[in-house]
Amino acid sequence: MKLWVSAVVVAIVLTVCAASTRAQAPAPAPAPAPAAAAATPAPNGLQRIAFIDVQRVLARSAAGVAAREQLERDKATMQKEMDAKRVELEKLRDDMEKKGALLTPDARRDKQEQFERKRRDAARLADDFQKELEKKESGLLQKVLQDVSGVIERVAKEKNYYLVVEKRGAGVLYGSTDADLTDEIIRQFDREAPKAKKP
């Protein structure tokens, strides 16, 4: 999961970098314009760089929370089905232990084969459920990340950032709170989310 998120984050960072590089023309002579402190380039000609904690966006944004809640509901439904299978297997095993001595060898063998078949089916079902949950998680989180990448790009352009990196994936060892756009991205993403759902 961490590798997948890192790969998506790298793709988002590359998209934002490419878009901001395309958007920047050769720097004209500085014109006297009232610019906010956030839009002012850093001293010594350094470009402005910010970071985003994507895990925090996924954990705290409305869309990220909704995705997690959907996954939890799906997981609970699957868990109920697995619990029913487990109870059925336990009942069958108890039945074999209690009545096994009274059964003929052929009947005992049939019961044992039935138990093994149901056990294999339950194991296969558990494996299928796990893969299905991983696929759903990947799909839901990918959609959130795709949606938020547009917000990141827009905010970065508005604030004149040259580069926005993912805090964990980029190995940021220090980041000033002034460079942390995460909360602003969450607020903007949540403001735009209801608009995106309307037809």
For residues 173-182, give the mean pLDDT. Answer: 73
Report the range of poorest mean pLDDT among 9-23, 54-68, 71-85, 94-108: 9-23
User: Which is higher by pLDDT, 106 or 13?
Assistant: 106
| Integer Cα distance of 48 and 24 in angstroms | 13
pLDDT above 70: residue 171: no
pLDDT value at residue 34? 34
Which distant-in-sequence residues (6+ apart) come within 8 Å of 137 by Cβ? Answer: 1, 71
| Integer Cα distance of 53 and 135 in angstroms | 23
pLDDT-derived band of residue 116, with 50, 70 and 90 as boundaries?
very high
pLDDT above 60: residue 66: yes
For the chain, what percent of residues have pLDDT higher than 70?
70
pLDDT value at residue 29? 38
Whole-structure pTM over 0.85, yes or no?
Answer: no
HEC string for 27-69: CCCCCCCCCCHHHCCCHHHCCCEEEECHHHHHHHCHHHHHHHH
Express each pLDDT in 140-160 by its tens digit. 888 888 888 888 888 888 888
Express each pLDDT in 22-58 by its tens digit. 444 344 433 333 333 344 455 555 568 888 888 888 8
